[in-house]
Amino acid sequence: MIKYDACQEKVVAKWAKAYNLPNEPYFIADPNGNEEDDGVILTVSYNFNEDTSSLVVIDPKSMSTLQEYVIPFRIPWSFHSGFWGDDWS
């Protein structure tokens, strides 16, 4: 995952973890933040080596991992952008 600065027209930071493929990231803005990257990035990352999935919390300023929560079941790496309402059955 990369952080691209459109004003400078260059990549300014990256997030990566060996054997992991992150799914679609979600930026959660800090409601009290003053800068555009105040908040956190959430992504589900699939580890091919261990066949596990984790919820990863990333600092958008440095693109470093703040916290990682291993999910007790595997989420396929292709699963993303899914939404089902209460009546999806």
Q: Compute the distance between CA of residue 13 and CA of residue 2 in angstroms, rounded to an integer.
A: 6
Residue 80: is its pLDDT beyond 60? no
Share of the chain above pLDDT 70, in %: 85
Residue 87 is assigned to a structural domain of this protein: no
- Give the mean pLDDT of 57-80: 87
61 located within any domain? yes
Residue 35 lies in a domain: yes
Flag whether 7 is in a domain.
no
How far apart are alpha carbons 65 and 12 in whole angstroms? 16
List the one residue out of 45, 64, 46, 48 whose CA is nearest residue 56: 45
14-38: average pLDDT: 93
Our count of domains for the chain comes to 1
pLDDT digits (tens, 9 = 90+) for 27-55: 999 999 999 999 999 999 999 999 999 99
* Closest by Cα among 28, 24, 74, 39 to 54: 74
Residue with more model confidence, 64 or 74: 64
Domain that holds residue 37: 17-71
